Structure 1
Amino acid sequence: MSTIWVRFVWLLLAITLFVSLPISLFYGLNWGLAAAIVCLLLLLCWHLLHLHQLMGWLLASLNSPVPRGRGVWEIAFAELHRRVRIRQGQQQSLSETLEHFRRAIQALPDGVIAFDRHHRIDWLNERAETHFALSAATDRGQALTNLIRHPDFVSYLDSGRYTEPLIYRGGRVDGLTLMLQIIPYGDDQNLLVSRDISQIERTETMRRDFIANVSHELKTPLTVVAGFSEMLADGDEIYGMAEIKNYLKLIREQTVRMQRLIEDLLVLSSLESGGPAPHEERVELEPMLRSILADAQALSAGQHVITLSIEAPSALAGYANELRSAFSNLAGNAVRYTPAGGSIEMLWRVHQGIGEFVVTDTGIGIGAQHLPRLTERFYRVDRSRSRETGGTGLGLAIVKHVLTRHHATLEIESTPGKGSRFAARFPGRCLLN
């Protein structure tokens, strides 16, 4: 800028001399001085005009264009224009960085709420809106304690001790369990980070229930086996042959029950492990279903009328052992939960491009409130009856996993006292000619 003003001074002197010197030579010194003064006044007005443009630009909005000038003012305005471009570029870069940061925060699987020392919300992402039923449009600037009034949260917020997270239940969203932690940053600024741990809690509850159920299911037969074994070991001479045979029969029954439970646990563990699936093969259904019919008739011991209909010879692309396990469980459950004298119908058909294995019985039926939970491990409608029939409580869980691996679904219809209908439905891509 100093170079510009040196050039301006030299230009001013040159113009003054160029105008006043000839006038002084022809008309005298007084006229020359008057001409010089007039030139200086004109130059002053010219500069005042540019200065007025500069002041107008400074007072205008930040997006106003830099005015154009002449002479030294053109150089000055060009320099201002260059600086404006640099600043706009910096602002654009900063805006893009801020926008990337906001998008990253929005993409986080956790909720984030920024708030000040007065607990007023500065900003929150969409996940936090979902976790706390808030709205960034209307709740920004509101106090957190006015929106999240749970006593545990208010105590945690006021305590100032944020090294340990808070497990937050019973909030504004039903069925949601959150892990909350406050992270101080900057000058009296804080972040409230929320993580949805509902599924983790459900999984942990299922794990505890699973261990409790396995322990309970094994305890009864083990007690029977241990008790009768101890009786026989202490003195089998005091028991008659008929008693001994009866005790050995009970021991064998309970041993088979434990063996069946362990086998089902191993099958279910294999299905749930997410390991590589066995080699897919062509599974011919007719010989498999006739074998399952024979097993069901053996389990029934002549107490039920069991029929099998195969409307169309067919084969599935899948895993034979898993399909046999699923179909056997459906047939076996029908036998176990149908009173003596009832009937069980098994059917394979292809209808509208969908393959269906249907098991219909005239059994005790199931209440509608139980249907959504039937495929849970160890879920039983009537626990005492399940023990009487020798069920492990894992059959339908196995069926569900097998069908899922085969892209199939299980449909259940049942009426208490009238019977049930279980249908395994396979999409057309699983059917083979």
Structure 2
Amino acid sequence: MTVRDLAGARAAFAAAVLAVAALVGWLSGSIAWGLVMALAAFIAWHAIQFRSFARWSRRPLGRPASRDAAWAALADRLYRAIGIGRTRSRGLVTTLRRLRTTTDTIPDGWVILRLDGEIEDYNRGARDRLGLSANDHGQNLVALVRNPGIVSLLRGEVDSDIVEIAAPADETRRIELRRIDIDAERALVMARDVTELNRLLTMRQDFVANVSHELRTPLTVIVGYLEELGEGDPDFETLRDVLPKLTPPARRMRALVDDLLTLTRLESAPLPSDETTEDIEVALMLDTIVAEARQLSAGMHDIVLHANPDLRLRGVSTELYSAFNNLVTNAVRYSPDGGTIDVRWYESAAGPRFEVADRGMGIAPEHLTRITERFYRIDLAGARVRGGTGLGLAIVKHVLRRHRSVLQVESELAKGSLFYCVFGADQARDDDASEAPTRAVGAPETAARPSAPAARAPPPRPPPPHAP
């Protein structure tokens, strides 16, 4: 009912009251008495309507039922206003729930505090980072998380409003706390796990230091000889004696730069696709790698190759050659003279498998998780004498990751090591494939295949100490 309709209803009701009053006054012979009776009836009627309206307003679940148009219109307008308010309230509740869900999915934690440290609210990330529980609302953060860094942060005793502390739930992890003042009475404390960031920063610092160290040594040798040559007028005999001494450090620097460029390319290049991969005849590739390893060994090791000539692999030939060659070369460098090195390529139950086993010095358990880090070296006697840039296993890790595989290592001190990787069954190719296999990188056109049984199981040779 509109305002105009409400005014009309009230005017009609007043006219009816006046008419009744006039009729009663005419019949009784007293106009005043008629007006009094009409007014009493009018008040009684509205008292009844008001009581009904008040009863309904205490619990306005449905539309009001009133015989009076004015009261019905008033109640209807109130009912509509209540409905709008309920809709808005439900919308606000939904928004708040979504906001809570959103803030709980944020990995960083946040805590709203009063100036005295009392907790007003926090999200799930704060529970995980600071070890809070669901019943910690209203508690003092300093009392719950006893750490001098938090006290200094809340008191404003740090210059940047940022402190780093050990995580209360796990002291091996580091938490960065940042204070943001909301108003004069409240502050927001953000908690972020910076363990991984610190590790990456440390790796970057170590990387710069290691590169500088690796380049400094050969550069020092080269500069020393050049300065010696520059001090006088060298003759042919002097040059013939000095120049060969400049070649090894120069080659070492070139190998280091090449490996660094290879790592950069592997990390930044897109993953291999059907357009960039090919069917690789791995047995022929390994024949070339083993031949080069025997030259490096100079007859000091017994390098045995067992490769299934019918098992090929879909991948990037240059990358896999680099990875396999690094593993075989490492076995030569870290195996004592007279040791045996087994190189195998066969189809296991899980898929194509490549492995290199040696009976060398072995690797202590604490080093196994870090040997694929850049420049990470184990202090083993004789290992540095035989060269290497310290980047080989890092290259292997990235190549295998790009080919959906992982480098696995099993080792025991003084008994030997087993390095292996398994590829997906869908990456295997056999002689029934329509596409011709790719020749191994660096292999001659007429290279003979290694003698190996055609069976897909590894040959019946005694396995290395830790071969499964």
TM value normalised by structure 1: 0.86
1:77 maps to what in 2?
A: 75
User: Alignment partner of 2:66: what SS?
Assistant: coil
Give the superposition deviation at 1:111: 2.3
1:11 maps to what in 2?
A: 13
Contact 2:166 2:175 in 1 (8 A): no
Give the alignment partner of residue 166 of structure 1, picking from 159, 162, 187.
Answer: 162
Give the superposition deviation at 1:216: 1.5
2:283 maps to what in 1?
A: 286
Contact 1:325 1:399 in 2 (8 A): yes
Q: 1:274 to 1:112 in 2, by over 3 A?
A: farther
CA distance in 2, matches of 1:161, 1:357: 55
What are the equivalent positions in structure 2 for 1:150-189 lying under 5 Å apart?
150-159=147-156, 164-172=160-168, 173-186=170-183, 188-189=185-186
1:262 maps to what in 2?
A: 257
| More moved, 249-258 vs 74-83 | 249-258
User: Is the aligned partner of 1:86 residue 2:88?
Assistant: no
Amino acid corresponding to residue 20 of structure 2 in structure 1: F
User: Alignment partner of 1:138: what SS?
Assistant: coil
Give the alignment partner of residue 142 of structure 1, picking from 139, 144, 165.
Answer: 139
| More moved, 9-18 vs 64-73 | 9-18
* Structure 1: runs of 5 or more not aligned: none
User: Is the aligned partner of 1:121 residue 2:119?
Assistant: yes
Give the superposition deviation at 1:361: 0.6
Higher helix share goes to which structure?
1
CA distance in 2, matches of 1:109, 1:53: 55
Contact 1:370 1:381 in 2 (8 A): yes
CA distance in 2, matches of 1:233, 1:22: 139
Give the superposition deviation at 1:209: 0.2
CA distance in 2, matches of 1:152, 1:201: 18
Contact 1:112 1:193 in 2 (8 A): yes
Amino acid corresponding to residue 90 of structure 2 in structure 1: Q
| More moved, 109-118 vs 262-271 | 109-118
Give the superposition deviation at 1:38: 6.2
User: Alignment partner of 2:329: what SS?
Assistant: helix
Contact 1:110 1:194 in 2 (8 A): yes
Q: 1:387 to 1:222 in 2, by over 3 A?
A: farther
Amino acid corresponding to residue 52 of structure 1 in structure 2: R
CA distance in 2, matches of 1:118, 1:56: 47
2:364 maps to what in 1?
A: 367
Give the alignment partner of residue 425 of structure 2, picking from 424, 428, 432.
Answer: 428
| More moved, 306-315 vs 99-108 | 99-108
Greater RCO (Cα-Cα under 8 Å, separation 6 or more): 2
1:52 maps to what in 2?
A: 51
Contact 1:378 1:394 in 2 (8 A): yes
Give the superposition deviation at 1:56: 3.8
Give the superposition deviation at 1:368: 1.2
Give the superposition deviation at 1:8: 4.1
Contact 1:347 1:358 in 2 (8 A): yes
What are the equivalent positions in structure 2 for 1:21-420 lying under 5 Å apart?
21=23, 25=27, 28-29=28-29, 41=40, 43-58=42-57, 60=58, 64-65=61-62, 67-71=64-68, 72-135=70-133, 137-159=134-156, 164-172=160-168, 173-186=170-183, 188-231=185-228, 234=231, 245=241, 249-275=244-270, 279-382=276-379, 385-420=382-417
Give the superposition deviation at 1:290: 0.4
* Structure 2: runs of 5 or more not aligned: 431-468
User: Alignment partner of 1:290: what SS?
Assistant: helix
Contact 1:386 1:392 in 2 (8 A): no
2:460 maps to what in 1?
A: none
State the Cα deviation string for residues 197-225 of structure 1 (Å, max 9, x = none): 32222111101001111112222233333
Give the superposition deviation at 1:291: 0.3
State the Cα deviation string for residues 64-114 of structure 1 (Å, max 9, x = none): 556432213212211211221222233233334434443443344432222
| More moved, 414-423 vs 72-81 | 72-81
Q: 1:276 to 1:357 in 2, by over 3 A?
A: closer
CA distance in 2, matches of 1:75, 1:216: 90
Amino acid corresponding to residue 268 of structure 1 in structure 2: L
CA distance in 2, matches of 1:161, 1:423: 51
Contact 2:363 2:411 in 1 (8 A): yes
Contact 1:66 1:80 in 2 (8 A): no
- The count of residues paired between Structure 1 and Structure 2 equals 424
Give the superposition deviation at 1:307: 0.9
Give the superposition deviation at 1:286: 1.8
User: Alignment partner of 2:214: what SS?
Assistant: helix
Contact 1:413 1:420 in 2 (8 A): yes
User: Alignment partner of 2:252: what SS?
Assistant: helix
| More moved, 321-330 vs 153-162 | 153-162
Give the superposition deviation at 1:51: 2.3
Give the superposition deviation at 1:7: 4.2
CA distance in 1, matches of 2:158, 2:20: 81
TM value normalised by structure 2: 0.80
User: Alignment partner of 1:417: what SS?
Assistant: coil
Give the superposition deviation at 1:410: 1.2
Amino acid corresponding to residue 23 of structure 2 in structure 1: L
CA distance in 2, matches of 1:176, 1:85: 52
Give the superposition deviation at 1:179: 3.3
User: Alignment partner of 2:75: what SS?
Assistant: helix
Amino acid corresponding to residue 11 of structure 1 in structure 2: F
Amino acid corresponding to residue 374 of structure 1 in structure 2: I
Give the superposition deviation at 1:327: 0.2
Give the superposition deviation at 1:263: 1.6
